[in-house]
Amino acid sequence: MRFYEYESRRIVERAGIPVTDYGFCTTAAEARAAAERIGGETVVKSQVLTGGRMKAGGVKFASSPDEAAEHAAEILELEIGGHMPVGVLVDPKADVTQEYYAAVLWDGRAKRPMMLFSDMGGIDIEQVASEHPDHVGRGHLSNLHPIHDFKAKETVSRCGMTGSELNRATMILARLARLQRDYDMTLAEINPVARLGDGSFVALDAHMEMEDEAVGRHKQMLEEIGVDLSEPRELYEPSDFERNVKAIDAADHRGVIQGKDHGFSGNLGLVIGAGGGSLTLTDAVRSQGGKPANYAEIGGNPSVAKSKGLAMEVLRKEGVEKIAVMMSIVSNTRVDIVARGVIKACLELGKDPAETIAVFRIPGAWEEEGAKILDKYGIESGDRSVSMWEAAGTAVSKIQGAGDGG
């Protein structure tokens, strides 16, 4: 789960990491009031979940509260990367002496969180790591033991820092590490951490991402920082197809179906599974010149209604001429039930199953019963002796032989 900048700011603040005064505003009048309270020059930043705000004109500097209000009015109306902002953040233009970088993220290979600290903040950390590796301190944390301050101190010192800066930075990194653990963040990043004219350290910008699987156990914190869990935070707006498949899946607890069509625009509908099988089959269709209309996953022994539901949604997609029903060998999902479901979908849409189902390749549990039903309707089917690649190839050649030639 991704957070808006103002939410990340609140999370960091709650963890005891100093931040500058700021205001989250949804109107120009609120932005004026925030700028007045903060005093001096301010920055007005669009609150959207996409990058490239600066380039798109979503970040503007203001020398007076009136100017901050003007910028806010513009930015609140400005769409960035297909997203309208949920508000603006008004920040002081801080008196920065030096910028640093602090982050805690998972190291999948070590299976532990890793702290990163650099005295070259404000810029892309990957660039710093490759060009100035001695300016990036790293340190792993145990998953079982408490997070001791000295671990953060070691990490900060590894980028060559000492003096009072070392002690102040240590405090920030240690608190960031506890925050990452306490709130299941896959990424907890402050860039930049700034040393101000008076020597104090503050977080100027923060980027937090919480693991989706853990959102349920942090509801209280999320509520306290004002996160609305009913509001979707997808990278893109779900399509009708995606929404409908999700609704069909939610309506029945038996089995799991998923459908995606963002980025797909072909004519061959895919009713495929399971997880790894879907990836393999999508590749097999594309590698043989086929154009999938969607991506799908079936698994966990879905009911006839659920299998039918997915097949109908795929068949209703614009431009879909045929569907391929394919899975890797199944042990839990029943072949005959999926067969019944997809045939029913064809019949209810007034289509001939033998024409519409380019190929049916699901070997495994109840395959003999499945084969009987498929034969009855004259549908081309294959058992495990037909490879996934061959089944995909059959579907591609049939659709290329039909209609406009794909």
Partner 1 sequence: MSILLSEDFTFIVQGITGREAVNLTRECLDYGSKVVGGVTPGRKGREVHGVPVWDTVEQAVEHHGAPIDGAVVTVPPAFTKDAVMEAIENEIKLIVVVTERIPRRDVAEMVELANERGARIIGPNCLGLIVPGVCKMGGIGGPAKDAAKAYVAGSVGVMSRSGGMTTEISSTLTAAGLGVSTAVSIGGDAIIGSTYAELMPYFEEDSLTEAIVIYTEPGGRMEAELTEWREDVGSRLPIVAFMAGRFMDDEEMQGMSFGHAGTIVEGKEDSATEKIARLEAAGIPVVERIDEIPDAVKAKL
Nearest CB to partner 1, comparing residues 20 and 258 = 258
Amino acid at 182: D
Q: Which of 247, 175, 146, 213 is nearest to 190 (CA)?
A: 175
Least gap, CB of 42 to partner 1 (angstroms): 32
Q: Which of 320, 327, 307 is nearest to 268 (CA)?
A: 320
* Contact residue for partner 1 among 328, 356, 381, 394 (CB under 8 A): 328
* Contact residue for partner 1 among 327, 342, 343, 346 (CB under 8 A): 327
Least gap, CB of 310 to partner 1 (angstroms): 16
* Contact residue for partner 1 among 286, 291, 316, 351 (CB under 8 A): 286
* Contact residue for partner 1 among 87, 269, 277, 370 (CB under 8 A): 277
* Contact residue for partner 1 among 31, 272, 388, 395 (CB under 8 A): 388
* Contact residue for partner 1 among 165, 184, 252, 369 (CB under 8 A): 184
Q: How many residues bind partner 1 (CB under 8 A)?
A: 51
Distance CA 170, CA 159 (A): 12
Give me the long-range contacts of 281-289 (CB less than 8 A, separation at least 24).
Answer: 281/324, 281/326, 281/327, 281/388, 281/391, 281/392, 284/388, 284/389, 284/391, 284/392, 284/393, 285/324, 285/392, 285/395, 285/396, 288/389, 288/392, 288/393, 288/396, 289/396, 289/400, 289/406
Contact between 284 and partner 1 per CB under 8 A: yes
Contact between 130 and partner 1 per CB under 8 A: no
Are 171 and 200 spatial neighbours (Cβ–Cβ below 8 Å)?
A: no
Nearest CB to partner 1, comparing residues 170 and 278 = 278
- Can you list the positions of beta strands (E) in 216-354? 256-260, 268-273, 295-299, 322-327
Judged by CB under 8 A, the chain residues 145 through 174 that form the site for partner 1 are none
Contact between 282 and partner 1 per CB under 8 A: yes
Structure tokens at 18: 């100093």
Supply the DSSP string of 154-167, one letter for each residue. HHHHTTT--HHHHH
Angle CA(22)–CA(55)–CA(27) in degrees, nearest 5?
A: 40
List the x/- string, 358-387, binding to partner 1 by CB under 8 A. -----xxx------------------xx-x
List the x/- string, 82-121, binding to partner 1 by CB under 8 A. ------------------------x-xx-xxx--------
Distance CA 150, CA 212 (A): 30
Distance CA 101, CA 136 (A): 9
What kind and span of H or E run contains 327?
strand 322-327
Least gap, CB of 243 to partner 1 (angstroms): 16
Distance CA 183, CA 147 (A): 14
Amino acid at 379: I
Contact between 243 and partner 1 per CB under 8 A: no
Contact between 140 and partner 1 per CB under 8 A: no
Binding segment for partner 1 (CB under 8 A), chosen from 63-71, 194-202, 357-365, 373-381, is: 357-365
Nearest CB to partner 1, comparing residues 42 and 301 = 301
Nearest CB to partner 1, comparing residues 145 and 198 = 145
Residue partners of 247: CB distance under 8 A and separation at least 6 = none
Contact between 291 and partner 1 per CB under 8 A: no
Binding residues for partner 1, rule: CB under 8 A, are: 106, 108-109, 111-113, 142-144, 181, 184, 186, 211, 213-214, 217, 235, 260, 262-263, 273-280, 282-284, 286-287, 295, 297, 299, 327-332, 363-365, 384-385, 387-390
